Amino acid sequence: MIDIISVIAWIAADRVAVLGLGGLTVFGALLEVWNRFKQGEAGPATSSPCRIESVSDRERIHRLLQENEGLMKQSEIVDAVDWSKAKVSRLLSDLEENGEITKIAIGRENLISLPGHEPPAAIS
């Protein structure tokens, strides 16, 4: 004859196993969602690297300069954005090559201006 305690223990063990498997399944699904979310932040791999981001970065620099009467120190731009000094420097060099800004060296610092906003002493 089957003892009632062993039946209860068997049912309890069975439920614990089912709950454990269910918990692992939910955990695995959450990890998969997290990984897909993180990959979405990095963006899909394309042949042209982050063209959309570059445009918005350029626009952000232009807006910063417009908000500051077309003239800012490079260090102020670095402080205003959440980018490295190297990224800001590369972006400003690209903008200068395209004639979108002017970089004026003042000692060890650069003054960045929109065309037509250069200080009078820098034009001569």
19-32 confidence digits (pLDDT tens): 777 777 888 888 88
What is the predicted pLDDT for the residue at 48? 47
What is the predicted pLDDT for the residue at 2? 65
Q: Where are the domains of the chain?
A: 1-43, 51-123
What is the predicted pLDDT for the residue at 5? 74
What is the predicted pLDDT for the residue at 47? 45
What contacts 24+ positions apart, CB below 8 Å, involve 92-101?
A: 92/61, 94/58, 95/58, 95/61, 100/58, 100/62, 101/61, 101/65
Q: CATH code for 51-123?
A: 1.10.10.10
β-pair partners for 105: 110
**Which tens digit of pLDDT belongs to each residue from 53-76?**
555 799 999 999 999 999 999 999
